Chain A
Amino acid sequence: MRLANPLGAFVARDTPLARIDARVKIALLLAAAIAVFATGISWAFLAWIVVLVLVCRTARLDVASHARSLLPVAFILAFTLAANALALDGHGDIALVGPVGIDTAGGLRGVVAVARIVVLLGLALSVSASTTPPQLADACVSLLSPLARFKVPVADIGLMLSLALRFIPIVSEEFSRIQLAQRSRGVDFERGGIVARVSSWASVLTPLVVSLFRRAERLGESMEARCYAGGDGALITLPPLTCRDRVVLVVGVLVAAAIPLAAWLV
C-alpha cells in the first residue's frame, strides 16, 4: 500500500529544473536566501513572487499538494501576520474595537515576513523535488571540497547526507504504517489528556526507532559487503559546468542582486 509522498521528496520527472546542475541550484538557492532578506519593503518584492512562480513552473511542482502539506505551518504564518498587524494599545491606524486596531505599517512588515518564508520554502522545495538525493549530496561535497584540505571528512559527510536524504521517505512511510497498526490495536491518538496522548505516541515511536536502528545496522553491513571502508573513499569529481548551467548561474546571480537593488532604489 502506498502512502502520501512526504514534503519536498524527490519526484522522478524530467523537468527543465531537473536538468540543471545541482551545484548551480544550491548556489542560487543560497544567493536567493540572502537576497530575499536583503530586499526591503517595496513593490520590488513582488519580483520574488514572479521568480517563485517561474521556478515552480520549471520544476513542474505540484503546487496544490504542496500547499496541503504546508497547512501545519499556515498557523504559524497566520500568527506572525496577526502579531505584526494587530495593535492592542490604541496606536493602530484603523480602529476596530476600543484600543484594538490594525497597524498598517506592521501589517506590511508581517506580509513581507510571511512572503519571505513562502518564497524561500517554495524555492527550496523546487530544488529538493527536482534533485535526486545523490545529486544533492554530490553537489554539497563538491561545494565543500575545498574544506578537505583542512582535514574535514567531506566524502563521509556526503555519503551520510545522501543516506539521510534517502531515509526521509522510508521513515515517514514506516511511521504511517506503524501508526495504522497501533490504531488497529485500539490506540486512539486523539483521546485523553496530554499524558495519555504522549504515551500513545510511544507505541509508534519506540518500534519506529528500534526498526530504524536495525535497518541502519543491516544497511551498514550491506555497505561493508560492497567494500565500503569509510574515510578513504575518493572524492567524486563532478564534470565542469556546461555552458547552459553557467548561463543559468550568471542570470540567477544577476536576478538575485538586481531585486534588492531595485527595492533600495525605488
Chain B
Amino acid sequence: MLEASKVSVLYRGGDAAALDGVSLRVDAGEIVSLVGANGSGKSTLGALLCAMRLPDTGSVTVDGADPARSAADRREMRRRVGLVRQHPFDQLVSTVVFDEVAFGPRNLGLDHDAVRARVDRALARVGLDGLERRDTTALSGGEQQRLALAGVLAMEPSYIVLDEASSMLDASARPRYRALVAELAASDIGIVQITHDPLEILSSRRVVVLDAGRVAFEGAPLDLLLDHADLWDGTIVSHPAVEALRYACGRGFHPSGTPTPQAAVSWLLEGYRASCIDRADLAHALTCCEGRVADSVRRDACPENANPVIAIDGVSYSYDGREQVLRDVSLDLRAGEVALIAGTSGSGKSTLACIAAGLIASDAGTVAVCGAAPRPGDVGMAFQRPEDQLFCESVADELAFAPRNLGCDEDEVAARVRRAAGFVGLDDALMGRYPFELSGGQARRVAVGSVLSLEAVAYILDEPTAGLDAAGRDHMHALARNLADAGRAVAIISHDLEEWLDVVDRVVFVRDGRIVWIGSAGSLHEDAGAFAAAGLDAPLSFELARALREALDGDRP
C-alpha cells in the first residue's frame, strides 16, 4: 500500500501551501487519477509519492518503507515507486534503447545477466522488444514514452506515478498507452496518473481532485462526472464522447465495469433496437458526439471567396535537397477564419508553417502574404512550448520585443503591448514580473502575447494548448476565435481534432508532405474516408457519431 497521510508542503516563501494536509491511499493493482488545475499541487503530491522530495509535515510510506528515515529508505522507496514524466528528453539518459532501460538496474548494482534479463522483460512488456540496439532519438514520441516506462519497469516497482506522461502524445498513440497502463494495473502494479485526459480519468478506479493544495473531491470517476458536473467541467478537458456518456447515464445507463463512452453508445443502440430508447435520445447523443459544430453558424461568417491573407501556391521543400518534406502544396488562409492543420508527426505541417511565415525558403512554388513575399514578422508564429523563448527582464519587455524589432516608436510599442496584453488576458500586476518565475499557464499567455504584439495579418499557433489545464485550453480556444473575429487569418497546428473541432472553420489534413483532405469542420463528419486518407485513426467521438448516425439512418422510412 502506498500511502500519504496529512502531507503538507510549503512553498519556499512560506506564505501559501503547495499541499495542505492531503491524504491519499493507493492499493496494489489500482489506478488512481490525480486531477486539478495547473498549480493545484498534483505534481508536488506525485513527487512526494515517489520520494523525490519529503513533505514538510505528514508522512508518505510504501509497504512500510518510510523515506524520512534514511537515505537507504529513500532509495528503496524510489525503486518501489517509479516515476514517468511528460517529456521523453527529460528522462531518457541514453541514446541506445538497451542502455536506457539498463540504467536503473545497473544503479541497483545488479550483474550483467540480471540486468539483461530485466531489460528483456521490461521491453517485452511495453512492446518494444527487438529494438534493443535502436537509437532512442529515432523513436516516435509514443515509443519514447513507452521506453521511459520500460526504464521504470526494469526497476520492478510496486507502484508507478505517471506525471502527465501521455500529455505530449499524438491522439493516435494514446489508446495504446491507456491499454498499457490498464495491463500494468492488471499485473498488480498500483498506478497514480496525473492527467487532464477525461478518457484516462474514466478508466481509473478512483479520482482525486486537488484544488489549491487540498482535496476537493475523492471518489469514483462516474460520481464526479454526474454528481459534481461543475467540478468535472471546471477541471477536466471537455470531450464530445464523454458528453454522450453523461447523457446516456442520465437516460438510465449503469455501466458494470469501466464507464466508457463506447459502452454508453452500445447501450443506447441496443436500447433503441429494443425500443426502450427513443429516436430523440439517440439524436441527442449524436449531437453530443458531433460537438457544437453541428449547429455552428460560423461557416457563413467566412465566405469562400474572401481574399486570401496567405496564399501558398505549389510549394515544395526538401532537406539537404534529398528528403522531400513538402510536395506541391497549395493552400489559402483567409481573413476571419481559423484553420486547423492536422496530420501525423513528420507529415510536414510544421515545415509548411515555417514556409508560410517566411522563416524558411521553399525549393519551388510561391508564398504571398497580402500579395507580397513574406518576411519574418509578417506572420505571427508561435512555436510549440513558446514559453521556452522568453528571455527579457519583464513581461512588458517581452511583449514590447517584437514591435521594437519592427522599428515602432515607443508610443506605438506601448499601445501594442497594451492591446496584446488585453488579448491574452494579462493584467497590469503581471507586467512587471520576471517571465522566468511565472506559472506554466501564465508563461504560455505571455509567450503567445509576445507574438500577438507583432499585430500581424495572420497567426500560426503550433500546439498552443499542449500541457495546459482545462481553463488554459478554453482560454486559447477563445483567443484563436477572437483573433479571427478581429479579422486575422489564424491557423492552428494540432493533432487533437476533437479538442479544436468546435473552434475551427476549416480542417486541412497533411500527409507525407501533401494536402490530402481539406474541408469545413462540419463536413468532416460526413466524409468517412477523410481520416484514412490522412493516415490517422478517426477519433473516438467520430466513430461513435458514425455508429449513431447509421442507426438513425438505417430505419428511416
**Chain A residues proximal to chain B, CB less than 8 Å:** 1-2, 4, 10, 12, 65, 132-135, 162-163, 165-166, 169-170, 174, 177-178, 180-188, 202-203, 206-207, 210-211, 215, 218-219, 221-229, 233-234, 236
Contacts and interface: CB of A to CB of B under 8 A. Distances in A.
Interface in B124-160: 133-135, 137-138, 151-152, 155
A163 B454 contact: no
Interface in B79-111: 79, 82-83, 85, 87, 89-91, 93-96, 99, 103-104, 106-109
A132 B97 CA distance: 11
A222 B354 contact: no
A226 B78 contact: yes
Given A177-B383, A183-B359, A12 B377 contact: no
B319 A184 contact: no
B405 A181 contact: no
B104 A226 contact: yes
Contact of A210 (B104, B152, B391): B391
B401 A134 contact: no
Contacts of A178: 388-389
Given A12-B138, A163-B93, A207 B388 contact: yes
Interface string B337-375: 000000000100011001001011000000000000000
Interface string B58-94: 0000000000000000010011001101010111011
B354 A226 contact: no
22 contacts: A1-B350, A65-B320, A132-B95, A132-B96, A134-B96, A134-B99, A181-B381, A181-B386, A183-B359, A183-B376, A184-B379, A185-B402, A185-B405, A187-B376, A219-B90, A219-B91, A222-B83, A223-B93, A226-B152, A227-B79, A227-B155, A228-B107
Given A184-B381, A225-B78, A226-B152, A10 B95 contact: yes
A98 B291 CA distance: 84
Contact of A133 (B89, B94, B152): B94
Contacts of A211: 388
B29 interface: no
A24 B134 CA distance: 22
Given A207-B388, A221-B52, A222-B91, 6 more contacts: A134-B99, A178-B389, A182-B389, A210-B436, A219-B91, A234-B109
A3 B282 CA distance: 49
Contacts of B401: 185-186, 203
A141 to B, nearest CB: 13
Nearest to B112: A237
Which of A1, A206, A234 has its CB near the most chain B CB atoms (within 10 A)?
A1
Interface string B397-416: 00001110110000000000
B454 A185 contact: yes
A178 B451 CA distance: 13
A177 B109 CA distance: 39
A70 to B, nearest CB: 15
Given A132-B95, A181-B381, A225 B82 contact: yes
A226 B82 CA distance: 7
B195 interface: no
B377 A186 contact: yes
B101 to A, nearest CB: 10
A207 B107 contact: no
Given A184-B357, A184-B359, A225 B83 contact: yes
A4 to B, nearest CB: 7
B107 A180 contact: no
A166 B93 contact: yes
B383 A218 contact: no
B450 interface: yes
A186 B401 CA distance: 8
A135 B135 CA distance: 12
B454 A226 contact: no
A177 to B, nearest CB: 6
Contacts of B388: 174, 178, 207, 211
Interface in B417-438: 436
Contact of A185 (B94, B103, B360, B450): B450
A186 B90 contact: no
**3 closest Cβ pairs, A-B complex:** A186-B405, A1-B350, A206-B391
Contact of B319 (A4, A224, A234): A4
Given A202-B391, A207-B389, A227-B107, A1 B351 contact: yes
Interface string B38-51: 00000000000010
Contacts of B320: 4, 65
B89 to A, nearest CB: 6
B380 interface: yes
Contact of A2 (B50, B90, B319, B379): B319
B28 interface: no
A215 B377 contact: no
A226 B155 CA distance: 8
B302 interface: no
Nearest to B111: A234
A166 B95 contact: yes
A133 B82 contact: no
